[in-house]
Structure 1
Amino acid sequence: MRREGCVPLSPNVLRGVCGMIRRTFAWLFAVSFLWTASAVAQERPAQVQAFSISETGRLGTAIWRQDVAAARATDALLAASGGQPPQGLIGWIVIPEGDGQRVRFLSGEISAPQAFKDVVIDSQLKAGPVIDVAEPALSVDEIAQFAARNTAAQAIGPLRCAARYNAVMLKDPEGSGWLVWLLASTTQANVVPMGGHYRFHISADGQTVEKREQLSGGCLDMDRSQAQRGGQTVGLVTNIVVAPQPLEVHVYLSLLNRLPIYAMAGDKIWEVQGARIREVTPSARR
């Protein structure tokens, strides 16, 4: 499994990070208040489900791998079709395949999708050739996965932190249905969308929203240059108001941006370096 940019910090650097976090504690709570105030006059979001630390790391890695697979498969598809999406394309799903993933592009009607073209992404997240699908009929699970994506997209709600959202769909590890993440995205190289992500619990047939979870207090775009201290990559600092620990989106963002993320949740400080999550509250390290 690939790890990107998740390097251990020296004790001196880590102590410096913790000092920086303590100095910015009050500022971050002020920022979290401004997120909520600026986010279309909504109530403070409810607390969301937090998985175990190990499961959070696994889910965040799976989200990152699927998101990267979809992006690289899309690049391959566009390259093979002259830079334009093929006519009739209505979306895609990602299917696990051994150590890799099969990105299946769909055509037809939203209510009756068919397999159109496939791109296999290997375990190193490299895209293979675009393959014309011989059998267009989808399995029951594939139909449900695509339906779950569309069901979540229709229920996103008023807080829109990005012009475009990326979707990731995985089997719910604690149920029979689907987990769908709608992830705020950006085309700006130095911007990290720390807020504005959603998690949906969708029924097994993909048709019903069982729970909608807003994974931040509001919108927040962070500048990657904030991760630099004294010429070293230290990390980005954020505040979590919807859970007592980092969430899978923080693992995803750490992997995607090749940066450590330091998160304050309750009275604890956490370090997220890819799938590795640990508490670094100063008092906990004495």
Structure 2
Amino acid sequence: MIRPTLALVLALSSISVAPVVAQTRPTTVEVYPIAETARLGTAIWRQDVAAARATDALLAASGGQAPQGLIGWIVSPDANGQRVRFLSGQPAAPQAYKDVVVDSELKAGPVTDAASAELSADELAQFAARNTAGQAIGPLRCAAQYNAVILKDPQGEGWLVWLLASTTQANIVPMGGHYRFHISADGRTVEKREQLSGGCLDMDRSQAQQGGQTVGLVTNLVVAPQPLEVHVFLSLLNQLPIYTVTGDKVWQVRGARISQVRMPAR
């Protein structure tokens, strides 16, 4: 995936890791019902885009330069969409700095000063969860930078954190190397780490074209019996259908629509 205003994004939201490709034995990961998979993938995409749009707004309001002292951001639901709160201070003691509300159409509003520098307990836990996941990334590392998305765990009291392999190449879709973490409610303990692919796989967008038409990208999935939320995210982000092959089944992911493809009888 690639975002605009890359320099600031990498400085604030991404997690730097050594560019190591380590193949590990794939382990089956937890899967959610299809409807929940689609919902989570859409939420990941919306948060990722909101952070990018808010970053653009912050840069525009700062004369093209990132304000000094920023250490990251958190994204929270807002009555009008999502609030991207930029943080300053130290990672162990973050403070609210600037807010940007991104509406339901994913349009960023004005940059405003945070009403108070003090973060709520929930905000502190969310930022801690992001940092906890970043410090616990596994040996499979398919990119030098990973982007983080944090959501409430729909099945528990804690957090779900995704570390998403990123790229600076506009034509590349990083299909492999993503992680999902289950983090405790206080944001400080990794309860489970899940590697969402068997290895690294960067796919060229041109592979989705055939005869001048967009047909989609095809990938094998060995860690789950159905598409995962990251496939929904990648399909929405790249505006491409993604076909996942799981054993003897083929699935189509077209944005938030997931369906099994009927194969012709032999």
TM > 0.5: yes
Paired amino acid for 2:151: L
Say if 2:87 and 2:94, in contact at 8 Å, map to a contact too. Answer: yes
Identity over aligned pairs, percent: 79
Give the Cα separation in 2 of the matches to 1:114 and 1:204. Answer: 20
- Alignment of 1:176 onto 2:127: no
Partner of 1:281: 262
Offset at 1:39? 3.4
What is the 5 A alignment of 1:122-271? 122-271=103-252
Give the Cα separation in 2 of the matches to 1:265 and 1:99. Answer: 39
Offset at 1:106? 0.4
Alignment partner of 1:256: what SS? helix
Partner of 1:46: 27
Alignment partner of 2:245: what SS? strand
How many residues are paired up?
Answer: 247
Offset at 1:84? 1.9
Larger Rg: 1
Offset at 1:158? 2.0
Give the Cα separation in 2 of the matches to 1:168 and 1:94. Answer: 9
Give the Cα separation in 2 of the matches to 1:208 and 1:82. Answer: 39
Residues 64-102 of structure 1: CA deviation (Å, up to 9, x unaligned): 000000011111111211222111101100000125100
Give the Cα separation in 1 of the matches to 2:224 and 2:60. Answer: 41
The 1:244–1:99 alpha-carbon spacing in structure 2 relative to 1, beyond 3 Å, is farther
Paired amino acid for 1:39: V
Offset at 1:198? 0.4
Question: 4+ residue stretches of structure 1 with deviation over 2 A?
Answer: none
Residues 210-243 of structure 1: CA deviation (Å, up to 9, x unaligned): 0000000111110001001111110000000000
- Structure 1 unmatched runs, 5+: 1-37
Give the Cα separation in 1 of the matches to 2:96 and 2:181. Answer: 25
Give the Cα separation in 2 of the matches to 1:48 and 1:81. Answer: 42
C-alpha RMSD over aligned residues: 1.4
The normalised TM-score by structure 2 is: 0.90
